[in-house]
Structure 1
Amino acid sequence: MSAHGADYGAAPAAVPTTRPARLAEAVERGLGTLVESAAAALLVLEIGILLAGVLARYVFHRPLVWSDELASILFLWLSMLGAVVALRRGEHMRMTGLVSRVGRKARELLETLAITASLAFLVLVIHPAMEYAQDEAFIVTPALEISNAWRASALPVGLGLMLVAGAARLLRLGSLRTTATALAITVGLIALFWVAGPVFKPLGQANLVIFFVGVVAANVFAGVPIAFSFGLATFGYLALSTSTPLPVLVGRLDEGMSHLILLAVPLFIFLGALIEMTGMARAMIQFLAGLLGHVRGGLSYVLIGAMYLVSGISGSKIADMAAIAPVLFPEMRKRGAPPGDLVALLSATGAQTETIPPSIVLITIGSVTGVSIAALFTGGMLPALVLGACLCFVVWRRYRHEDLSHVRRPAGKELARLLVIALPAILLPFVIRAAVVEGVATATEVSTIGIVYAALAGLLIYRRFEWRRLRPMLVETASLTGAIILIVGCATGMAWGLTQSGFSQDLARLMGAIPGGAYGFLAISIVAFVILGSVLEGIPAIVLFGPLLFPIAKQAGVHEVHYAMVVIFAMGIGLFAPPFGVGYYGACAISKVNPDEGLRYVWGYVAALLVGLVIVAAFPWLSTGFLKF
């Protein structure tokens, strides 16, 4: 399981023997170098533009009126090129629960189908994307006064490059027979739906079940990346059951990917990689280990606290876990902690810290629902402490008889030295929060302050800055960004299709009829989002259902920030709980522990998270009590 989902199409690497395979490998390598270099350069440029905007406005009091507009244009290009990198590497998010359980031949066919289905979506949507870019050429941007085609062209260019990358990957990795079979199945299914087109139009809202439940579920469970599963379902629904012009779908894709607040996603992902590379994460963890290492279960408490602190800096759960596990786990194993318990707790802390700012999920909720990002950042801290306390109770129960006779308690001077070393790293989350609260930078721009802070700390304080790692970090950030933002775009199109069908009104009536008022609505939301989180992961579920359910929550008397906390925790529990939660398998991959070893330990932590979630849901003050301060 890679950081973003399983590597689809990842057949065992072999030296290409056929001429087409050798040609495909050469094309893929050349394309990869070109696109990765461009994406890395765009990310550096984005950081520079946003940082220049902060300095011009706050230091020189001469705002750059064009900075946000240019950043938005470049962000769409960064997202599309990042999606190309992710497709080339097989790093688009996908569900592999079924794929990993079938036989070798069936798995090889499903892996190849994941590529051919993705290619099918690209082929179907590239012409509407060209039409959309041509239509946008007549619009002039307000600040730069250039044609909007400069921005909209990112869509057809990115889709075209993904087509080339996907085709090259298909030729290089798949056997001829498997590839032919997968292509025949894909083309056959599309032709079958196309021929059956006249049947769909009279069905009305039944088409929602056919496309947004049936088609999406079939694709997701078959291992097709989530973004392309959403895209295929939405394209099929609009093309076969409505008279909507298809460039409208591309417009919704553009709309979903162009929220400027989403620019915080790549910047915080890069910041997470930067604090690991500079040694800031290690310094924090070593201090916490010195502080609590002599207590029974102390290092487990350190793990919970470290995830709380690091999540306040990063924004990527994979980055958080990757920063902490290699530092803590060797010592915890020496003390006799079962590897299964370690990976179970690591997974549980991933769900616990989903609301700690600057969380990508919080930023996504703010961008798609209109809830204040600053309010979400303020409201997320205390609920995470509640869930952390529940996890600590389980740790106390399990480790209350631990033998620590061999553990040395550090002297006061040694502990003070560790604190001094860790202090610059510990202060970073507070610097980021202060910058937003004091109006120095927006939630999008503040990550650049964190990046500069981390770089200076690495260069001047920790004396650790590996320049050779910068390009791989930039490329990895672009790949993850492309995977995330493409999901957001496709899910936005899907949510628009649902809204246009009248589904949101039907859902509002259904949810409004649930007995129990606000608490009844919260209860059904918890059940729904635990399930959605395990199947769709957090960001797709939020983008798809957030715009529909948040207005209903407000009508039911639930504060938007309170509802956001409940929803995020519910999704987090689904995401990090087996058997479907992809976050659990990500934790296992980082910990290098077999997933089966964690199963007997993880349910106690999941139960603790559920108890914490019920407490947060029952007492709204935990989420909203500090909003007025």
Structure 2
Amino acid sequence: MLGRAVEFAAGGLVLADIAVLLAGVVARFVFHKPLIWSDELASMLFIWLAMLGAVVALRRGEHMRMTAVVSRQTPARQQLLESISTCASLAFLAMVAWPAWEYASEERFITTPALEVSNAWRAGALPVGIALMMLFSVLRLFKDANWRMSTKALAIVAILVGAFALGHGVFENLGRLNLLIFFVGVVAASVFSGIPIAFAFGLGTMGYLALGTDTALPVIVGRMDEGMSHLILLAVPLFVFLGLLIEMTGMAKAMIAFLAGLLGHVRGGLQYVLVGAMYLVSGISGSKAADMAAVAPALFPEMKNRGASEGDLVALLSATGAQTETVPPSLVLITIGSVTGVSIAALFTGGLLPAVVLGLTLCVVVWFRARGEDLSHVVRPSWGQVAKLAAIAVPALALPFIIRAAVVEGVATATEVSTIGIVYAVLSGLLVYRQFDWKRVGPMLVATASLSGAILLIIGTATAMAWGLTQSGFSSSLAQIMGGLPGGAPIFLAVSLVTFVILGSVLEGIPAIVLFGPLLFPIARQLGIHEVHYSMVVVLSMGLGLFAPPLGVGYYAACAIGRVHPDKGIRPIIAYMLALLVGTILVAAVPWLSIGFL
């Protein structure tokens, strides 16, 4: 009952934020009377949405985690590691619970400027969310594991936490060596043991600040709040919901049907359609899982009928996920804008052509592999049929361009523009495609809150971690090393490419950007590298790591969506990943591809 109540509240907050932001757009653009309180109220609702969404994600087991190592263990050991993961998450939540309460208590003395209410109404989301996550962690621990396994896991985590606590005096004298112990050792061990990334970051940061410094612990919660409260990040849940809407209303199906009619009769035609469809859908949803889930079910059955292997299908799906990382409105681009100050509109404009370049490199591989495809059984549709499919797909095909135009022309901000897309998708589903299942709206809102909470909690703990790294002097040391590399800008770009491929495979795009974006972007500017050009190199490099096996979690997401065993796609994906690497190097070497249309 409590779980359903939290889900209802989280889904309602998604709907409320959509309504508030849309009201702000209409009041400002239509009636020319801005609502001065809309952003403030949206921000207040947003932090509650983030925390309750994180609760829902924990209850459902949907927090992002790396399971490549865990999945290779015996069933008994897997169960133990799952219990340890739950206990470690519970340990972090228990350690941060009192600082969160102190932080919220201190915020009660601050009054918001527009609504003129105590800021404790907003900050209270943090201790409430943490308390609920603790409760559901305990319930999950005793639901999913037997009492012996739970007791063993609790004992292991308690011994580890106790050992670190007893070494407090030693850690105080280690100086910067603590960075390796906590931010490399603890975080890496936590990530590879299957602990959700958000809690792995939190454990490393809490350990470093509590044992290696004199920092007051409420500062951790303050940095988490700061990271999760950027209004620009409200685009995360809204674009996730938009991605679910286009699938439910039939817009994605209409786009794919048109592209299949246009190219389905040529060798490798449906593979080309997959590349093009992912490009178009990525321009709408902002969620890679939603992108792949919208495209794969519509294309995979017919591709299999034409003789395509399951391994090649999931390999190409994964590769297109990496290829379209820069297609606006990418969540990674929005995150870069929020943490580095780079113009969102410039990032949206600059991200279109690099994705096309990588798409062309993928098409070269598709052409080479499809040379011997048998198309004797495929009937080529008439131009009249293609024109009919095009007419049906026009409203769906127009959506990415409407979204981009609204941002570039100043009709709405990058955050608000998602509400325009949502209204457009709803109207298209009701009036054009006549496909709108009202019963699915509630579960979609809850799913949006869950995915958004998982993403935003990572951003929050990564922001605290980045603050700890910055306060330690790590940023200045990294700046000296990277800035002092011989060869200037070309070598810096090459080292960044390799670094972010590695980071993308372990941390995923958003936390890697939050951690290292504020450190490396100033160095790029000093070396004369355009910030939009550098953003494209960074995002594409992280995409390579994110979707490349054996560590890339995006690859396993593609396998899950395509219902293909991961082993089948590892060999076929090598050529696609090499093609993407060539395309990324080309984008890095030719700045015009990123900044030519700014």
TM-score range, shorter chain: over 0.9
Question: 1:312 maps to what in 2?
Answer: 283
Instruction: Tell me the TM-score normalised to structure 2 length.
Output: 1.00
- The match for 1:616 is 587
Residue of structure 1 in register with 2:86 after alignment: 115
Tell me how far apart the structure 2 counterparts of residues 454 and 52 of structure 1 sit (CA, whole Å): 17
Counterpart code for 1:330: P
The answer as to 2:89 corresponding to 1:95 is: no
* Residue 408 of structure 2: aligned partner: 437
Amino acid at match of 2:472: S
Take 1:343 and 1:351, find their aligned partners in 2: how far apart are those partners? Answer: 13
Where does residue 308 of structure 2 map in the other structure? 337
1:409-454 CA-to-partner distances (Å, cap 9, x unmatched) read 1111111100000000000001111111111100000000000000
Q: After TM superposition, give the deviation of residue 104 of structure 1 in Å.
A: 1.2
2:111 equivalent in structure 1: 140
Q: 1:472 aligns with which of 430, 439, 443?
A: 443
Q: Does 1:603 align with 2:583?
A: no
Q: Aligned AA for 1:431?
A: I
The CA deviation at 1:515 is 1.4
The answer as to whether partners of 1:111 and 1:223 remain within 8 angstroms in 2 is yes
Alignment of 1:519-534 (within 5 A): 519-534=490-505
> Which amino acid is the alignment partner of residue 562 of structure 1?
H
| Match 1:572 to one of 543, 559, 565 | 543
Letter in 2 for 1:539: I
Which position in structure 1 is the counterpart of 2:371?
Answer: 400
Which residue of the partner structure matches residue 10 of structure 1? none
**Amino acid aligned to 2:327:** I
Alpha-carbon separation, structure 2, partners of 1:314 and 1:184 = 43
* C-alpha separation in 2, matches of 1:439 and 1:570: 30
Q: How far off is 1:403 after superposition?
A: 1.5
What RMSD over aligned residues (CA atoms) do the two structures have, in Å? 0.6
Match for residue 186 of structure 1 among 145, 154, 157: 157
Out of 60, 63, 79, the residue aligned to residue 34 of structure 2 is 63
Q: 2:199 aligned with 1:228, yes or no?
A: yes
Question: Which of residues 502, 506, 511 is equivalent to 2:482?
Answer: 511
Q: Distance in 2 between matches of 1:282 and 1:310?
A: 10
* Counterpart in the other structure of 2:211: 240
* Aligned-pair CA distance for 1:551: 0.8
Match of 1:382 in 2: 353
SS in structure 1 of the partner of residue 227 of structure 2: helix
Matched, 1:35 2:13: no
Query: In structure 2, what is the equivalent of residue 201 of structure 1?
Result: 172
Aligned-partner SS, 2:325: coil
Deviations 1:537-561 (A, max 9, x none): 1111111111111111111221111
Matched residues in 2 for 1:226 and 1:552: separation? Answer: 27
User: For 1:338 and 1:162, how far apart are their aligned partners in 2?
Assistant: 42
Q: 1:150 aligns with which of 121, 126, 129?
A: 121
**AA of the residue aligned to 1:228:** F
> Using the alignment, how far apart are the partners of 1:345 and 1:592 within structure 2?
14
Amino acid at match of 1:186: V
Counterparts of 2:19 and 2:57, CA distance in 1:
24
The one-letter amino acid paired with 1:278 is T
Which ranges of structure 2 fall in alignment gaps of 5 or more residues? none
Contact 1:383–1:565 (CA<8 Å) still a contact in 2? Answer: yes
Aligned equivalents of 1:447 and 1:38: distance in 2? 21
Q: Which residue among 40, 45, 57 is the counterpart of 1:86?
A: 57
One-letter code aligned to 1:350: G
Matched, 1:213 2:159: no
1:411 is matched with 382
- How many residues align? The count is 598
TM-fit CA distance, 1:512:
1.1
The partner residue of 1:367 within 326, 334, 338 is: 338
Distance (whole Å) between structure 2 residues aligned to residue 503 and residue 188 of structure 1: 30
How many angstroms apart in 1 are the aligned matches of 2:413 and 2:242?
Answer: 16
Match of 1:18 in 2: none
Residue 281 of structure 1 and its aligned partner are, at CA, apart by: 0.1
Assess if the C-alpha contact under 8 Å between 1:382 and 1:623 holds in 2.
Answer: yes
Q: Assess if the C-alpha contact under 8 Å between 1:31 and 1:165 holds in 2.
A: no
**Structure 2 equivalent of residue 285 of structure 1:** 256
Decide whether the 8 Å contact of 1:375 with 1:561 is kept in 2: yes
Does the aligned pair in 2 maintain the 1:91–1:483 contact within 8 Å? yes
Distance 1:31 1:575 in 2: 35
Matching residue's letter, 1:37: F
- How far, CA to CA, are the matches of 1:375 and 1:468 in structure 2? 38
The separation in 2 between residues aligned to 1:169 and 1:600, in whole angstroms, is 37
SS at match of 1:203: coil
- Match for 2:577: what amino acid? V
Give the drift of 1:174: 1.1
- Report how far residue 514 of structure 1 moved: 1.2
Amino acid at match of 1:118: S
Structure 1 length normalisation: TM-score? Answer: 0.95
Identity %: 71
Taking the aligned partners of 1:431 and 1:204, their CA distance within structure 2 comes to 53
Question: Hey, what does 1:47 align to over in structure 2?
Answer: 18
Distance 2:3 2:85 in 1: 20
Q: Which residue is 1:538 aligned to?
A: 509
Once residues 474 and 171 of structure 1 are traced to their aligned partners in structure 2, the CA distance between those partners, rounded to angstroms, is 28
Equivalent residue for 1:482, pick from 453, 478, 481: 453
